[in-house]
Chain A
Amino acid sequence: MTVVREIDVIPFRNRIKETAAKMGMGLVNQTKLITAASELARNMLKYAKGGKVLIEVISKGRENGIRLVFKDEGPGIPDIALAMKDGYSTGKSLGLGLPGTRRLVSEFNIETEIGKGTTVTIIKWKNG
């Protein structure tokens, strides 16, 4: 799914909500996942002029979950450790985006290359 305009965020959130509801994820975990996705989508729009998001249902053992892969071709993040710190922001935001997002999901992975782009992968387990 492509997110290039701000308005794209709404159908994107709805897609995740549908997927999460279909697998029986609880309301709180759904909300956490969608909020996390919303944060990442905003970052993508703000710093990389949009990108692509892959939504998939995965399972490990008896646990099901949703994996979202955010891929952009933006400028990349120079210092990931710094970007993951609470309260740090290059834009004029609260700087809660990345660290806050990590707290909302079960698994969080970020890969970035200066000038090439950034890929963020998050997983939220149904009961996690």
Chain B
Amino acid sequence: MEKIPILKMGKLLLVTIQVDLYDRLAEALEADLVQMINKTGAQGVLIDISAVSIIDSFMGRIIGNIATMSKILDAETVVVGMQPAVAITLIELGLPLTGVYSALNVEKGMSLLQGKINLKETGFIPEDDGDTE
């Protein structure tokens, strides 16, 4: 069975979804990621969905699950690179993915995550909401 690779980069886990997701693949990703967070003690998860052309309610739920589960395991999740058409469709579907952070691209996602992690470590509250350079 196909698998979506999860890369470890310092304190972060990086997932780039390059294929069209079907339900079982997404479920496997959810399980793998949670395992991986636990194993590596990662503090942030970055999911790049710029190559994903369809997100329906099931996939949306998986993304939400991943975010919630990571949160319990003390890791933040950022979804990056959502295509405009996908964003519009998700809103119309009634799925605003609340609780999931998003960023325009990997770079911005990284700095957003870094900001969140720093915040957690130092307790320092910066003035911005993090999605800036």
Contact = CB atoms under 8 A, between A and B. Distances in A.
Nearest to A14: B20
Interface residues of B, number: 22
A31 B85 CA distance: 6
A31 B56 contact: no
A104 B95 contact: no
A10 interface: yes
Given A13-B20, A28-B84, A31-B53, A93 B58 contact: yes
Contacts of B92: 32, 100, 103-104
B130 interface: no
Nearest to A31: B85
Contacts of B22: 6-7, 9-10
B88 A38 contact: no
B54 interface: yes
Interface of A: 6-7, 9-10, 13, 17, 27-28, 30-32, 34-35, 38-39, 42, 86, 93-94, 96-97, 99-101, 103-104
